[in-house]
Amino acid sequence: MNNPPTDAAARRAVKPLVCYEIDQLPPSNLELYQQARESMTMISEVTVPPRDGGTFEVPAGNFFRIVSVDGPQVGDLNLWNSRDLSERFFSGKTRQLHATHVSTGDRLWSTLPGLRPLATITHDTLDWYGWDDDGGGVHDVIGTRCDPYTNYMLKGVDYHHCCHSNLTRALAAARSMPLTEAELQVHDVMNVFMCTGFTRDTHQYFMKASPVRPGDFIEFFAEIDLLGALSTCPGGDCGSSHSDDSTPCYPLKVEIYQPAAGALQDWASPERSAYSGRHGL
Ligand SMILES: [Zn+2]
C-alpha cells in the first residue's frame, strides 16, 4: 500500500547480523559425548505405533535414539525435565540460538527460567542432507505440531490423531493425568526427520517428503533427567498431507543407551540459569 522511500535500496542493503553467536554459548561437551557413545549399550526401547504417541524416560547421562523403522515417518518430539514438567523444550529459543533446523552438536534448550540444555544431538544419519534447492532442511524447530484445533478451523472436521492429540494422550497415560491437564503440558516440538523450509517468494512454511529411510536415526545425550514424548505424525513422511488418515504411516522406535561406567569422567548435569530473577525490581 505504500511506495518505497527514495533510500529503500540502501535501507535494504544493510548487512544482517547473526543475533546470537554460537561461540558465546556455554562450551559444549560434544567431544566427550562422542567418546562415551562408543561404549554405550542399549538398555530399553519403546515402539510408537503409526498415528499414535508414546513416552520414554532417559536418566541424565544416557543417550536416546529415534529410529526409522518400516518406512519414512516424521516424529514430533516433546521433552520435559522429568522431575518438573514446567521446564520443557523451548523450540523458539533453540531456533534463535542454533538455526531453523538442528543436527549434531546443536542443543535443545529449556524454557525460562531454566534455559539450560535438555539434550545435545550426538549423531544424525541425515546430516548429509544439508539445504536442498528449495531451501529445505531436516529436523526443524519451526513448526509447532499438527493439532485438531487448526484442522477444525481449516476443514470443519474433528480429527483425533494429530500430533498434539497423540502427545496429549501419551503424556496423560504416562503420568496418570486427566487429558485436560496433560494437554497444557504439550508444547512446540522438534520435528524429527521432517523436511521443511520457507517458500522463496512468499516465505510460507512448506513441507516435502522426508528423505528418512528405515535404519536412519537421530541420537541425543540427555543433559538432565528427561521425560520424552514422541508422536508418529499422521502425515507419514509429510510429502502430501497431514491431519488425516490418507497417508501411509509407520512406527518409530526410541532406543535408550547407557555409556560404560566412567565414560563420562567428571561430567555433571548443567544447572538452571544463574540470572537473579529480579526483573528490575
Ligand atoms: Zn503431526
**Ligand 1 center to 143 CA (angstroms):** 9
**Ligand 1 center to 3 CA (angstroms):** 41
Neighbours of ion ligand 1 (CB under 5 A): 146, 163, 233
pLDDT digit string, tens, across residues 132-187: 999 999 999 999 999 999 999 999 999 999 999 999 999 999 999 999 999 999 99
The helix or strand, by DSSP H or E, that contains position 77, with its residue range, turns out to be strand 75-81
With a cut of 50, list the residues of the chain below it in pLDDT.
none
**Ligand 1 center to 199 CA (angstroms):** 20
**Ligand 1 center to 274 CA (angstroms):** 35
- Report whether 223 contacts 142 (CB < 8 A): no
What is the reported pLDDT for 9?
97
Per-residue b/e over 33-63, b at no fewer than 16 CB within 10 Å?
A: beebbeebeeeeebebebbbbbbbbbebbbb
What is the reported pLDDT for 68?
98
**Ligand 1 center to 145 CA (angstroms):** 5
Closest by alpha carbon to 120, among 220, 38, 25, 3? 220
Question: Which triple of cell numbers denotes residue 254?
Answer: 526410541
**Ligand 1 center to 74 CA (angstroms):** 8
**Ligand 1 center to 76 CA (angstroms):** 6
**Ligand 1 center to 201 CA (angstroms):** 25
From the number of C-beta atoms within 10 Å of its C-beta (0-12, 13-18, 19+), residue 30 rates as middle
Residues in CB range of 260: below 8 A, 6 or more apart: 36, 39, 40, 41
What is the reported pLDDT for 245?
85
User: pTM for the full model?
Assistant: 0.96
**Ligand 1 center to 281 CA (angstroms):** 42
**Ligand 1 center to 22 CA (angstroms):** 30
What is the reported pLDDT for 210?
97
